[in-house]
Amino acid sequence: MNKVTFPNACQLMRWHFHPVGFEANMDAPSSMVARLFDRASGETVIAIAGIPCQTVMNAMDVERIIEAIELELETFVPQQTLYLNQA
């Protein structure tokens, strides 16, 4: 993978976190807010602000963001919460 724009990076992250919902917005020129949510209810599982990012990223940047989000999930969200409405 070469460089990807922020919207395309977000799509890669949506695919990675599926079936949990994922959305992200840049909150500053070099950071983003990411939110994982339950697709059935729309309820936020976790929201993380201040994740470093750029408008154009490479594969390692996208992987770093995914790892940061997963670390927050492991730290703050019980695993069963992510799988309640996937049946």
- Packing angle between helix 6-17 and helix 59-76, nearest 10 degrees? 40
Is pLDDT above 50 for 43? yes
Would the pLDDT of 87 be above 50? no
Stretch 31-38: mean pLDDT: 96
> What are the start-end ranges of the H helices in the chain?
6-17, 59-76, 79-83
Paired tokens of 42: 């729309």
- Average of per-residue pLDDT values in the chain: 89
Comparing C-alpha atoms, which of 84, 71, 87 is closest to residue 37?
84
Q: Higher confidence at residue 24 or residue 85?
A: 24
